Structure 1
Amino acid sequence: MVMRVSGLASGIDYESMIKQLMDAQRIPSIKLQQDRQILEWKQEQYRDINNTLRTFRDTVFNMKLQSTFLTKKTIIADGSVAAVTAGSNAVAGTYTFAVEQMAVGANITGEKIESDADKSTLGKQLASQDISGTQSITISQTLNGTTVTNTFEVDTDTESIYDLINEINNYKPEDGTWKVKASYDANLDRIFIMSAETGAGDIAVENGTDSTLADALKITTNPEDPASNKSAAYINGADASYQFNGVTYTSASNTVAINGLTFNLKGVSAKDDDGDPVATTVTVTNDTDAVVKVITDFVDQYNSLVETLSDKLYEKRYTDYEPLTDDQREKLTDDQIDQWIEKSKSGLLRNDTILSSILTKVRMTMSSVVPDVSGGYVEDGQTIYNDRLSEIGIKTTADYMSAVLEVNEDQLRKAVEKDPEGVMSLFTKTSDTDDYDEMGIASRLYQNINYGMDQIFDKAGSASDYNLVDESYIGKEIKDIDSRLEDWDDRLEQIEDRYYRQFSAMEQAISQLNQQSAWLQQQFGSSS
């Protein structure tokens, strides 16, 4: 360990001198730290751009799908019968629909049990009916042609009615599906048992072997002969019955899909004088408003992207504002530090070739022609094909250099109404040979964005937690600087130790000279 000196012999402030010498030696190391900070900031900005690209790519992906442009609007004359939605494959037109019967699940409403006041155990709750010891009930459910039966045992001396309810609800058979749910209403003093699914089927409840528990709980049923039930009200499960364009269909569920339409049944149709259900009308049309909105939203997101890229490409660079050192931070207020950092970060991606390439590609794509689009319509004796965005009212603003687009909504709406197939083809057209020039706008953009994201990833990596090893270009540069900084730390420590050894040796030499001078003065004084 090197002895640290403070100039006791010489009176010189060596600590201050060594600090100044080390400050000069640290200049290259500080420059490396500043370079590292700039790389980190550039990496963050690249990754932020990639997140923006990823969000836009999700929108572009939806624009590649034909279903995005095949949105339908439905109107049902009698909304009390059903709610209806149309899928992209639904055909525009008018249909008739009627509900003859709603789907219901089998259910049991027990009679009032006449429980005793103490319900801490089933035995105490049913004491007046002389129920005690281990009792059991057997429940069978038939659903979709499959019957599942189980016997539930309960110790009435230690378990309550809620333990029995939980056992029924949590039963999981090895074979088949258990869709029985039970509950107990303490205020009504009744048990309710029902099928969790609608559709034809039944539930039967019987006393278990050598047990009268089902009778005591007033839930004994016989679905095959409801009139023979000792207690409880019983309803058999039944399928829904409905008519579509005059043809009758059945369903175990009250949600039915037919011909691209999904009906959520809400009630039974009114009957005519002959007792037949009165059909209501369902009208399906192309949803022009939805298609116009999705296209305008897409243009808005495109504009947001190009503005983000342009802002970075033309952002001013303040070369005099290098990243702050620790000593510089100590001399500034928090607000001053924030303002300095803002200028330090500014312009780091100015004229960046990757961002410039992305912006150029997407801009060219948005102005390109898509050959052989489908559809087209005749106007004033002339066939018009929507083979470019400008044909459907999407054009560059007066400030052409900005790359920002604006939408003429009247022209767009007209194109969507008159040529929905052509507008869809403009965005979604594909190529059997993956020929880029044959693809629609969205398909091309998707490739543009993926290519740009790959370039940024190679340059700056990803902030994802799964990306444990950063092999990007900037990541490797940062690692190289880290290695050089470690070498500099070792070197600076050696230099500082050398300075202290040198000043220590000087201090010791001065101390020896002082001692010799004192001895000589003593000798001269004694000789006189």
Structure 2
Amino acid sequence: MNISPNRVTGLATGMDTDNMIKQMMKPYVMRVDRQKQQRDMSVWQQDLMRGITKNVRDLYNKYLDVMSKDNILSSKNLSSSTTIVDKSSIADITSFTGAKPGTYGLKVNKLATSAKITSGQLDEGLDTKLNLASDTTLTFKVGNKVREVIIKKDSNLGDLVSQVNSQLKELGVKASYSSFTKQLTIENSKTGTNSLLEVDGLNSIISSKGKVFGDLTSSTNYGEIDLLQLIDDNMSLKALKDKTLNIEGKEVKIEETDNLSDLLNKINAEAKEPVKIENGKIVVGKDVKLDLREALNGETSLKNIAGKNLTIGSSTITIDSSDTITSLSEKIKNITGKDVINNSGKLSFGTGTESNIIFDGGGFVKSSYGEIRGENSSYSVIIPNTTTPITMESETNNFVVDNINFNFNGIGETSFTVKNDTSKTVDKIKGFVEEYNKIIGDVSKKISEKKNYKYLPLTEEQKKEMKEDDVKKWESKGKEGLLRNESVLRDMLLELREAIIKPVEGSNLNLRAIGIDTSSNMEKSGQLVIDEEKLTKALENDGQEVMKLLSAGGKEVESQGIFTRFKEVFRKNAINYDGPLLKKAGYEGTLSEIKNTLTENILKKDKLIKEMENNLVERENKLYLKFARLEKAMNAANAQQGWLMQQFGGGR
């Protein structure tokens, strides 16, 4: 604080200047104190929010993090039986309640593989230059989805990997290069004989040593018929009934009985520009108003292409005037054994073999793809008290049979022993629920407790007049109700409540059925209570279903288990960098520590308080200066009065 050099006042006049100025400054000091109190309340709010965030993160890290030994979603921790494996290099095995106890023999003959193609050795690795004559298009087909990847003429192998991974992520296709083998692999993430990867154009990927992937010997043919030729003036628009078109700001509605001619007449009545049909689309001026392929549904007649022949391998279909899109699709399926896709008036189908496809009508496109398939795993199991191996196959290397989860790691023989024990699982669930209830109880209390406005943050002067313990008690009271009806916390509780209520798809159980229920005590609203006896019986009688109810994964919330949903709610609110709790109050050690709403408010208050304190100093200095001038004037007046008195006294 800058002190004015004119502050030494009151010596001659006897005035208590300091006290007078202090009283005059009091209203302005109180304004600063109010701002400090508001700032301190924001600090208290932040401390309370961060305390809740810490508790949520602690719970998450202990019970819901995949790396935690106590992860409640782990099959090992939720399993109510224990398994001892002789050679984990062959398989990791977890047993659930219901698995037959005893010692099993296991022989893994073959691991499940994905549909993949591997290049020859590439000594220059990802820097290998591709000798492309021009930009090359690779076409990938997985299931009913087709994607094109364009490889530029001057690309290297790294560019190809980047393009494949960025364009085909949705299809589950990825490319990877191994520095050990110096080979590039493109594969479908799915394993087993039903894992199919079909690709066209790989034979064109060439380096200085020739074809990077060699020749794909197996292929599959596909056909696509664009039914554009079915569009004529008499075509029914029943499939588009009630659809409206905006023509010159007016709505033109398609009625159930309209044909194309009727619709064109309606449009012509409103349009100021020419109406045309281009490539199956109604165009007014330059604006496309309707793609007529949308009107081609299963009931659409094929009389416009009656007499045309579609040949698939050795079978020929002659289209009859009574045929519809649906009847033609059924005829194709009878030959290929595969569904036909009607995508906006384009019929797409595959032969599933190398059979040729010929269509003597218009709008026909034929595609041929190199075909790569995965393989199933093959294994043999000797169950307890038997000697004869049972040989089986699986599309994956991780699967469940008879309440035993097999996860194959390699080929070879091993043994494993199953022992049933539900007590550990019950204890783990109890431990998680206890921590969960603490958080729910704390949050529920804070958003419902009333604010006592008597206990505002203390000023520095007030703190000096109180004992340290009394200050702590005062501040504890002052923090009550600061988070009342806090929307971030209220929304989190609502999400957790919905996670409990919503049924789990694929499970025939609910929490109440396994002995877990929400408390009927209003003071413990939202908290869970456990009937240990009922939970134990559920684990013993239906352990695998209990696991599904609690820990099932899945992208959609409907298919997620209850505890998995809890994990997603906590992650969304307190773990993710943009979680609502972090955005509101931040958390120490993260990027949100400084960048959050409350910190921004506190910094703004600090800036305002500093400005107000500077103004206080200026105002106080001005008052001292005024009093100094007053003193000077009063001293001068006193001196003059003394002189006058001397003069009058000297004249007697």
In 2, the alpha carbon distance for the partners of 1:88 and 1:294 equals: 20
Q: 1:288 aligns with which of 403, 422, 446?
A: 422
In 2, the alpha carbon distance for the partners of 1:405 and 1:393 equals: 10
Map residues 48-127 of structure 1 onto 2, 5 A cutoff: 48-58=51-61, 59-61=63-65, 62-70=71-79, 72-73=81-82, 88-89=93-94, 93-95=101-103
Structure 1 residue 446 corresponds to structure 2 residue 570 = no
* Partner of residue 21, structure 2: 18
1:437 positional shift: 1.8
1:41 positional shift: 0.9
In 1, the alpha carbon distance for the partners of 2:482 and 2:439 equals: 18
1:323 positional shift: 0.8
* Partner of residue 396, structure 1: 518
Q: 1:516 aligns with which of 633, 636, 640?
A: 640
SS of the aligned residue for 1:40 comes to helix
Structure-2-length-normalised TM-score: 0.47
Structure 1 residue 311 corresponds to structure 2 residue 432 = no
C-alpha deviations, 1:371-428, integer Å up to 9, x for none?
212xxxxxxxxxxx32x11110111233256222211112111111111110111122
C-alpha deviations, 1:80-110, integer Å up to 9, x for none?
xxxxxx965367543399xxxxxxxxxxxxx
1:490 positional shift: 1.2
Residues 1:361 and 1:468: Cα distance change in structure 2 (over 3 Å): closer
Whether the 8 Å contact between 2:447 and 2:486 is mirrored in structure 1 is yes
Q: CA RMSD in A?
A: 3.0
Q: 1:349 aligns with which of 455, 462, 483?
A: 483
Q: 2:454 aligns with which of 301, 316, 320?
A: 320
* Partner of residue 534, structure 2: 411
In 1, the alpha carbon distance for the partners of 2:618 and 2:543 equals: 76
Residues 1:75 and 1:8: Cα distance change in structure 2 (over 3 Å): closer
In 1, the alpha carbon distance for the partners of 2:602 and 2:520 equals: 43
In 1, the alpha carbon distance for the partners of 2:407 and 2:564 equals: 26
C-alpha deviations, 1:60-84, integer Å up to 9, x for none?
34233333223643699xxxxxxxx
Whether the 8 Å contact between 2:518 and 2:526 is mirrored in structure 1 is yes
* Partner of residue 268, structure 1: none
SS of the aligned residue for 1:319 comes to coil
* Partner of residue 468, structure 2: 334
**What is the total number of aligned residue pairs between the two structures?**
329
Whether the 8 Å contact between 1:88 and 1:260 is mirrored in structure 2 is yes
* Partner of residue 31, structure 2: 28
Q: Give the AA of the match of 1:339.
A: K
1:364 positional shift: 2.3
1:25 positional shift: 1.5
C-alpha deviations, 1:471-522, integer Å up to 9, x for none?
1000100110111111112111100110001000000000000111111111
In 2, the alpha carbon distance for the partners of 1:96 and 1:425 equals: 25
* Partner of residue 195, structure 2: none
Whether the 8 Å contact between 2:80 and 2:539 is mirrored in structure 1 is no
Map residues 139-288 of structure 1 onto 2, 5 A cutoff: 283-288=417-422
SS of the aligned residue for 2:474 comes to helix
Structure 1 runs (4+) deviating above 6 angstroms are none
Q: Give the AA of the match of 1:438.
A: S
Residues 1:30 and 1:54: Cα distance change in structure 2 (over 3 Å): same
Q: 2:595 aligns with which of 451, 461, 471?
A: 471
Q: 1:424 aligns with which of 543, 547, 552?
A: 547
In 2, the alpha carbon distance for the partners of 1:476 and 1:291 equals: 45
Whether the 8 Å contact between 1:428 and 1:439 is mirrored in structure 2 is yes
In 1, the alpha carbon distance for the partners of 2:81 and 2:459 equals: 61
In 2, the alpha carbon distance for the partners of 1:348 and 1:440 equals: 34
Whether the 8 Å contact between 1:67 and 1:88 is mirrored in structure 2 is no
Q: Give the AA of the match of 1:24.
A: P
1:286 positional shift: 3.4
Map residues 473-512 of structure 1 onto 2, 5 A cutoff: 473-512=597-636
* Partner of residue 582, structure 2: 457
In 2, the alpha carbon distance for the partners of 1:468 and 1:446 equals: 21
Whether the 8 Å contact between 2:583 and 2:597 is mirrored in structure 1 is yes
Percent of pairs with identical residues? 29
SS of the aligned residue for 1:11 comes to coil
1:298 positional shift: 2.1
Structure-1-length-normalised TM-score: 0.58
Q: Give the AA of the match of 2:596.
A: S
Q: Give the AA of the match of 2:513.
A: E
SS of the aligned residue for 1:73 comes to strand
In 1, the alpha carbon distance for the partners of 2:490 and 2:445 equals: 11
In 1, the alpha carbon distance for the partners of 2:416 and 2:581 equals: 51
In 1, the alpha carbon distance for the partners of 2:591 and 2:608 equals: 24
In 2, the alpha carbon distance for the partners of 1:402 and 1:296 equals: 18
SS of the aligned residue for 1:320 comes to coil
* Partner of residue 219, structure 1: none
In 1, the alpha carbon distance for the partners of 2:416 and 2:566 equals: 38
C-alpha deviations, 1:212-239, integer Å up to 9, x for none?
xxxxxxxxxxxxxxxxxxxxxxxxxxxx
1:469 positional shift: 6.2
SS of the aligned residue for 1:346 comes to coil
The gaps in structure 2 that reach 5 residues or longer are 66-70, 86-90, 106-383, 388-405, 409-414
Whether the 8 Å contact between 1:309 and 1:355 is mirrored in structure 2 is yes
* Partner of residue 526, structure 1: 650
* Partner of residue 191, structure 1: none
* Partner of residue 207, structure 1: none
Whether the 8 Å contact between 1:428 and 1:441 is mirrored in structure 2 is yes
The gaps in structure 1 that reach 5 residues or longer are 77-85, 98-243, 247-258, 262-280, 374-384
Structure 1 residue 297 corresponds to structure 2 residue 459 = no
Whether the 8 Å contact between 2:549 and 2:561 is mirrored in structure 1 is yes
In 1, the alpha carbon distance for the partners of 2:103 and 2:38 equals: 70
In 1, the alpha carbon distance for the partners of 2:512 and 2:501 equals: 8
In 1, the alpha carbon distance for the partners of 2:593 and 2:468 equals: 34
Q: Give the AA of the match of 1:68.
A: N
Whether the 8 Å contact between 2:583 and 2:592 is mirrored in structure 1 is no
The structure with the largest strand share of the pair is: 2
Whether the 8 Å contact between 1:64 and 1:428 is mirrored in structure 2 is yes
Residues 1:88 and 1:287: Cα distance change in structure 2 (over 3 Å): farther
Q: Give the AA of the match of 2:40.
A: Q
* Larger-Rg structure: 1
In 1, the alpha carbon distance for the partners of 2:598 and 2:624 equals: 38
Q: Give the AA of the match of 1:295.
A: I
SS of the aligned residue for 1:406 comes to strand
SS of the aligned residue for 1:63 comes to coil
